Amino acid sequence: MRRLLFFLIACMLLVSGCQKQHEENLKLRSQPELHFHVAALTGPLTLNPVLVRDSASAEVAALLHTTLLVTDPQTLTPLPRLITSWEYDREKLTYLFTLHPEAVWSDGTPITAEDVAFTMRVLSHPDYTGLLYLPLRYVLGAEEYKAGHTSELADGDIAGIRVIDEKTLSVTLKEPYAPFLSLLTFAPLPASHLSAVKVRDLEGHEFSLERPVTSGPYLLAEWNRDEYVHVRANPAYFLGKPALDNLYYRFIPNAETQLIELLAGKLDLVPTAVKVEDVAALRANPELKVYTNPRLVYDYIAINSKKADSPVGDKRVRSALAMLLDRKEVVDNILLGFADPLYGPLLPLHFAYDPALEKDNVDLAEARRLLVEAGCPQAELRLIFNAGNLVRENVALLFKEQAAKVGLDIRVSLLEWEAFLAAINEGDFDLAILGRGVEADPDLSYHWHSDGPGNTYGYSNEQVDALLEEAAALESAEERTRLYREAQRLIVEDVPAIFLYVRQAVHAATAELSGFIPHPENLFYNVHEWGLAGEGDK
Amino acid sequence: MLEVRNLRVGFRQGRTTFWAVRGISFQAAAGEVTGLVGESGSGKSLSALAIAGLLPAGATAAGEMVFAGERYPFTEQRLWQKLRGRRIGMVFQDPQSSLNPLIPVGKQVAEPLRLHRNLSLREAEEEAKKLFARLGINPAAARMRQYPHQLSGGMQQRVLLAAAIACRPPLLLADEPTTALDVTVQAQILKLLRDYVDREKAALVLISHDLGVIAQLADRVLVMCAGTLVETGSVTDIMSKPLHPYTQMLLASLPRLDKPLNIPALPEEEGRDLGGCAFAGRCPRLVPGCLKKDPPLITAGPGRAVKCLLPF
Amino acid sequence: MRKILRRLTQTAAVLFGVSVVTFLTMHLAPGHPLQANPELRLDPTAVERWLKLRHLDEPLPAQYVAWLSRVLRGDFGESLLYNRPVLELIGERLPSTLLLTLTSFVIALLLAVAAGTYAARHRGSTFDRAVDLLSLGGISLPGFWLGIILILLFSYRYPVFPAVGMRTPGDGSLPDILQHMFLPLCVMVFGGFAHYVRHVRGAVLAVLGQDYVRAARSRGLTDRQILFLHVLPNAALPIVTIAALSLPMLFTGAMVAEQVFGWPGLGRFIVTSLLARDYPVIMTVNMYTGTLVAAANLLADLLYLLIDPRLRAEI
């Protein structure tokens, strides 16, 4: 027994000894190189930037690929990236895009206008199953291409897309559409490698799974399926070789373990998964730095006004419901301040946001009066939300408590994710706490136009429809702002939903990290500018 | 050959010790069969286990035995390690459960041979085969390879006996060796035991509740009641002229082999704590003196002793 | 032999039943693979297209028949989530899974046999009571909690062992992997040990009370010889049962260790696939586990035959 124990201990010492030596070797060899470790909860499913459906794939795609345009992290307005400049011909509804002259694929060939045109054909192809068709809907001929293209390849032509020369592309819209540029945040595909691939085969193609030809700040070195993606700085990146030579995107499914690894110095950046309860402790640590930024996702209480014989069909009842919660209190007490209260359908980041809406009119007496007036002083309402979200659970309980004060009986039911989705889809609820992602452009049509694809609960206001249609066709930000503010006011008045808050993303990183600008949509927005202050000892 | 002096076996119960064997002394001579008879619970099996050094964990023993001229205090059970198998063999009551079901019987018999006589596997098995043949386990070679469940009860008991006598121990203990067997087989086993005693001039201590078995095989008889020896003598004396009322009762119940002994049962603790005769609670000849103290063992002729105030 | 054949047919029938039930429950439950994230702006035509390309828009019986005929030809299909052959996905995760589960199983079982036997032979001793306490702890302590404690202690407070993953990125040498393995192994060995040791102790105790052990003692065998020749082989029967029953779990991974320590194993993969409604993966995993359970039972039966001659007689 004792001999065995001794043997085990000896083995362990030997192993750790070897390891030390190994580490030293590694260190020696890699002295001049910088290594940077980023945590992720899961690994990517695809490396193909146009087939991304999950956040991990999106983040890895952002490392490997480069988008046509990016949005400004502060104002969400479009900024040049692969497209370095553009001209807009109002008469012809045509954009003339110029690509970066030095932009090259990882195989050394230049990124051309044909690549971009090809990518747009892929997105419009009837067999394309990704999420990026949205911007193409406004391109002349794209709808016809989607409906009528018979080849399985993304060949042929879309009427509105024309390659002028190697680095110049013109895109003609079918109608004026101001948000168009803000939607060009997708990355192109290399036409020379993929033009002979059937669009339906793209998901399983080696380009998507093993050997991508890329254009981004980093090149794929190794994808260890369940552990990490290792990428190396792209020396030919057209915005300059990134300073961090090696970046490891490591999948650590447990948020607690991520933090421990960060504290132990084995991770350099824990994005998004940081819990607000931990922030105080992390801020106190001189070796770490905490970053926050608002996200493009907000939480709201959906009101199912379509549901037959539900009192929430009555606008007075909805108004009364909107008077119950003090959003500032919710943000301060439940989210510890790591959120912004939300009063309308646009976020404070949007240029057309209306600060005038920012007031909580908690008025229980008025709410009571409205309920009585609506003839349902004692209604019973079903409020659903998904299990596992503590913040939403607390909001639900607070809401129930407040509603009880005005005589409403809120039946709170916590549902497992699938059951929750089913209840949402079947309309089996009066109220539901949900999250919703919004676009960078303030265009509200997707959710609030009568015909909007995301208009799930049948909101319809002709005035709003007219305002949104008019605003989308305008170029001037001032004029659009005016119209969107009017639309916001109308929507808030109609109370189709109770807006709650926009949560902040909280990131924790080593204090040595420099140049990191948290972006609401894209963690690696400016990864090529990141550096490590204490260079050399990593 | 063997002399047991004041053997006591008890079990600790909390802070007190309950003595199941309360100080017995006897001798067993070489070439002789000593029968130890008594009803179940009288302590005869425990006595045998103590002599074989096989007391269960939790049992404590006191006294000593002298075996082949050497003293073995019962408190030092580890001394028995060199005796078991080599100098003392033991046969048990239930042959079926006393054989390891997973091992061929030949191997089980060869085990002590290899161990104690340093024989090779082949030599040991050769030796075991001879033993099998001698004990009538035929055909020996085939039987060797069989497993316990493939043998009849009588064959199993022969195997067990073969294993016990493999190293030709001068002392053999047989604890109810025939109780589990039917009558014809019983006689065969008893004969094999007798043969061994005669052949090896060994001492055999035969434990049985059955006076019939004792009468067939024993030379001398020890009658045990409630942890003490109440009467000893030659088998003819005991069978023809039992002196102790307990022996007489045992004999009286003899014809009805299949029925429980016709002796009133007694809660075990009771009689013992009184300090009187062990049989007092059930004795038809009870006199006041019986309850006061344990009657002395009195000599009642050559090689004959009885522990009773009114022996007749 | 006929028994084994009958067993195989039974297994096939059971697997068939399992496949039908899995298929139905899976498809009748609400949701489908592309619906997992409602915040995604899915183009409804793209969803239709996606379903059509994968024949998920066909009636269920047709889908099932198509699945079955492909499986009978050895084709388990492609994952909807990863767009790669299911067998490939399982295959590439199996070695890391087995490395952890098999190692921990062997260590836990050996420790349990040693400690359980010792405890049984010294019943009521301090060691026995310590083992009892330890095993109670192992059964009642959540592995998740223990994992976090170990990480805090040995990766953070005293950084001796890495907390996460199977290898240092770019390394992956044997010592590197062994180091990464240590903490998850501790958690799993502890849990396994706690479970097995009770059974071992019970089994050994039962055998120690048997007449043949006393008989063997009477023949002068030493305690050690009795232990190895008589006690352990007889105590092996119940232990083999327990061990065989845990075999399927070895092949499906260790959820807790994989979750806490980010070990790249099958458990996490299976749960992800379940949550994502990755039908081909779920079906294959079900067949896979079903086969494993059947195989483990068969293995247990064969081991019984090997150990116990009484059972051999019944064939």
- How large is the ipTM? 0.86
Backbone dihedral region of B90: left (phi > 0), alpha (psi from -120 to 50 degrees) or beta?
beta
In order of A430, B139, B150, B190, the CA distances from B185 in angstroms are 88, 18, 17, 9
Minimal Cα distance from A123: which residue of C? C46
Widest CA span in chain A: 89
Q: Are residues B148 and B182 in the same domain?
A: yes
Token pair for residue C134? 């330890």
Any chain C CB within 8 A of the CB of B98? yes
Any chain C CB within 8 A of the CB of A8? no
Which residues does chain C have within 8 Å of residue A446's beta carbon, measured at their own beta carbons? Answer: 41
Sheet holding B228-234, edge to edge: B88-91, B171-175, B203-208, B33-37, B220-225, B228-234, B305-306, B298-299
Q: What b/e string do you get for C212-240 counting C-beta neighbours within 10 Å, with b at 16 or more?
A: bbbbbbbbbbeeebbbebbbbbbbbbbbb
Q: What percent of chain A has pLDDT over 70?
A: 93
φ, ψ dihedrals at A52, nearest 5°? -70, 130
Q: Are residues B213 and B275 in the same domain?
A: no
State how far the Cα of C13 lies from the Cα of C17, in Å rounded to an integer: 6
A residues 246-275 near C, CB within 8 Å? 246, 248, 250-254, 256-257, 260-261, 263-264, 266
Q: Are residues B170 and B75 in the same domain?
A: yes
Residue the block writes with tokens 């002096």:
B5
The model's pLDDT over A42-78, given as tens digits with 9 standing for 90+, comes to 999 999 999 998 889 999 999 999 999 999 999 999 9
Q: Are residues B66 and B203 in the same domain?
A: yes
Widest CA span in chain C: 84
Which residues does chain A have within 8 Å of residue C276's beta carbon, measured at their own beta carbons? Answer: none
Residue B225 lies in a domain: no
CB-based contacts of B65-70 (< 8 A; 24+ apart in sequence): B65/B2, B65/B3, B65/B4, B65/B5, B65/B7, B66/B2, B66/B3, B66/B5, B67/B1, B67/B2, B67/B3, B67/B171, B68/B1, B68/B170
Contacts of A503 by beta carbon, 8 Å cutoff, 6+ apart: A294, A295, A297, A298, A299, A335, A338, A339, A391
CB contact (8 A) between residue A19 and residue C155 = no
Q: Which neighbouring-strand residues pair with A251?
A: A40
State how far the Cα of A89 lies from the Cα of A176, in Å rounded to an integer: 11
State how far the Cα of B17 lies from the Cα of B19, in Å rounded to an integer: 6
**What is the average pLDDT across B280-300?**
81
CB contact (8 A) between residue B92 and residue C218 = yes
State the pLDDT at residue A6: 46
- Best residue in C211, C219, C230, C239 for a mutation probing chain B (most B CBs within 10 Å): C219
Please, what is the Cα angle at A36 between A30 and A42, to 5 degrees? 130
Q: Is the pLDDT of residue A17 over 50?
A: no
Q: Which neighbouring-strand residues pair with A232?
A: A219, A246
State the pLDDT at residue B262: 52
**What is the average pLDDT across B44-53?**
92
Token pair for residue A445? 């049509």
Q: Which neighbouring-strand residues pair with A172?
A: A94
Chain C closest CA to A273's CA: distance in Å?
15
Q: Domain boundary at B218, B252, B273, which?
A: B218
- Cβ atoms of A445 and A467 closer than 8 Å: no
Residues in C whose CB is inside 8 Å of some CB of B read 123, 210-212, 214-222, 225, 229-230, 233-234, 307-310, 313
Closest CA to B74 of B88, B64, B60: B64
Q: Is the pLDDT of residue B271 over 60?
A: no
CB contact (8 A) between residue C39 and residue A437 = yes
Q: Are residues B74 and B140 in the same domain?
A: yes
State the pLDDT at residue C168: 85
**C-alpha count within 13 angstroms, C-beta hemisphere, residue A80:** 13
State the pLDDT at residue C281: 92
CB contact (8 A) between residue C179 and residue A15 = yes
Q: Are residues B276 and B310 in the same domain?
A: yes
CB contact (8 A) between residue A226 and residue C37 = no
State the pLDDT at residue A343: 93
The model's pLDDT over A257-268, given as tens digits with 9 standing for 90+, comes to 898 889 888 899
Chain B closest CA to C201's CA: distance in Å?
17
Confidence of residue A9 (pLDDT cuts 50, 70, 90): very low
State the pLDDT at residue A277: 83
Residue B9 lies in a domain: yes
The burial of A89, by beta-carbon neighbours within 10 Å (0-12 exposed, 13-18 middle, 19 or more buried), is given as exposed
Which residues does chain B have within 8 Å of residue C216's beta carbon, measured at their own beta carbons? Answer: 100, 108, 111
CB contact (8 A) between residue C38 and residue A421 = yes
Q: Are residues B209 and B248 in the same domain?
A: no
Which residues does chain C have within 8 Å of residue B108's beta carbon, measured at their own beta carbons? Answer: 216
Chain C closest CA to A418's CA: distance in Å?
6
Contacts of B53 by beta carbon, 8 Å cutoff, 6+ apart: B77, B79, B80, B81, B83, B84, B88
Q: Are residues B113 and B260 in the same domain?
A: no
The CATH homologous superfamily of the domain defined by A67-196: Dipeptide-binding Protein; Domain 1 (3.90.76.10)
Confidence of residue B274 (pLDDT cuts 50, 70, 90): low
Residue the block writes with tokens 């006595």:
B47
Query: In the A/C pair of chains, how many CB contacts fall below 8 A?
Result: 151
- Best residue in B100, B145, B160, B179 for a mutation probing chain C (most C CBs within 10 Å): B100
Confidence of residue A312 (pLDDT cuts 50, 70, 90): confident
Which residues does chain A have within 8 Å of residue C259's beta carbon, measured at their own beta carbons? Answer: 253-254
Which residues does chain A have within 8 Å of residue C152's beta carbon, measured at their own beta carbons? Answer: 260
Q: Is the pLDDT of residue A225 over 90?
A: no
- Cβ atoms of A227 and C265 closer than 8 Å: no
| CATH code for the domain defined by A32-65+216-294+505-538 | 3.40.190.10
B residues 53-82 near C, CB within 8 Å? 54, 57, 81-82
User: What is the value of pTM for the model shown?
Assistant: 0.81
State how far the Cα of B247 lies from the Cα of B228, in Å rounded to an integer: 13
Which residues does chain C have within 8 Å of residue A26's beta carbon, measured at their own beta carbons? Answer: 170-171
State the pLDDT at residue C40: 59
Neighbours of chain B (3+ CB pairs under 8 A): C
CB contact (8 A) between residue C214 and residue B85 = no
Confidence of residue A31 (pLDDT cuts 50, 70, 90): low
State the pLDDT at residue B257: 44
Which listed CATH number (2.30.40.10, 3.30.300.30, 1.10.540.10, 3.10.105.10) goes with A297-503?
A: 3.10.105.10
Residue B175 lies in a domain: yes
Total number of domains constituting chain B: 2
Which of B54, B100, B103 has the CB atom closest to C218's CB atom? B54
Q: Are residues B189 and B137 in the same domain?
A: yes
**CA atoms A399, A400, A401, A403: torsion sign:** positive
Domain definitions of chain A by residue range = 32-65+216-294+505-538, 67-196, 297-503
Any chain C CB within 8 A of the CB of B163? yes
State how far the Cα of A378 lies from the Cα of A382, in Å rounded to an integer: 13
For the beta carbon of residue C253, count every other beta carbon within 10 angstroms. 25
Which of B89, B102, B149 has the CB atom closest to C234's CB atom? B102
State the pLDDT at residue C213: 94
Which residues does chain C have within 8 Å of residue A204's beta carbon, measured at their own beta carbons? Answer: 78, 83-84
Residue B156 lies in a domain: yes
CB contact (8 A) between residue C264 and residue A134 = no
- Cβ atoms of A500 and A301 closer than 8 Å: yes
Q: What percent of chain A has pLDDT over 90?
A: 67
State the pLDDT at residue B115: 86
B residues 215-254 near C, CB within 8 Å? none
Query: In which element (H, E) is residue A251 found?
Result: strand A246-251
Q: Is the pLDDT of residue A15 over 60?
A: no
State the pLDDT at residue C30: 67
Q: What percent of chain B has pLDDT over 70?
A: 93
CB contact (8 A) between residue C38 and residue A434 = yes
Which residues does chain C have within 8 Å of residue B97's beta carbon, measured at their own beta carbons? Answer: 210-212
Which of C182, C260, C264 has the CB atom closest to A227's CB atom? C264
Residue B236 lies in a domain: no
- Positions in chain C whose pLDDT score sits under 50: none
Chain A closest CA to C6's CA: distance in Å?
40
Chain C closest CA to A37's CA: distance in Å?
9
Which residues does chain C have within 8 Å of residue A266's beta carbon, measured at their own beta carbons? Answer: 155, 162-164
Which residues does chain C have within 8 Å of residue B110's beta carbon, measured at their own beta carbons? Answer: none
Which of A227, A264, A434 has the CB atom closest to C155's CB atom? A264
The model's pLDDT over A522-533, given as tens digits with 9 standing for 90+, comes to 899 999 999 998
Domain that holds residue B285: 242-312
Q: What is the DSSP letter of B140?
A: H
Q: Are residues B71 and B152 in the same domain?
A: yes
Token pair for residue A6? 């001794």
- Best residue in C82, C93, C113, C164 for a mutation probing chain A (most A CBs within 10 Å): C164
Q: Is the pLDDT of residue A21 over 90?
A: no
Minimal Cα distance from A420: which residue of C? C30
Chain B closest CA to C226's CA: distance in Å?
11
CB contact (8 A) between residue C83 and residue A436 = no
Mean residue pLDDT across chain A: 89
Any chain C CB within 8 A of the CB of A388? no
Pairing status of strand B305-306 against strand A409-415: unpaired
For the beta carbon of residue B233, count every other beta carbon within 10 angstroms. 24
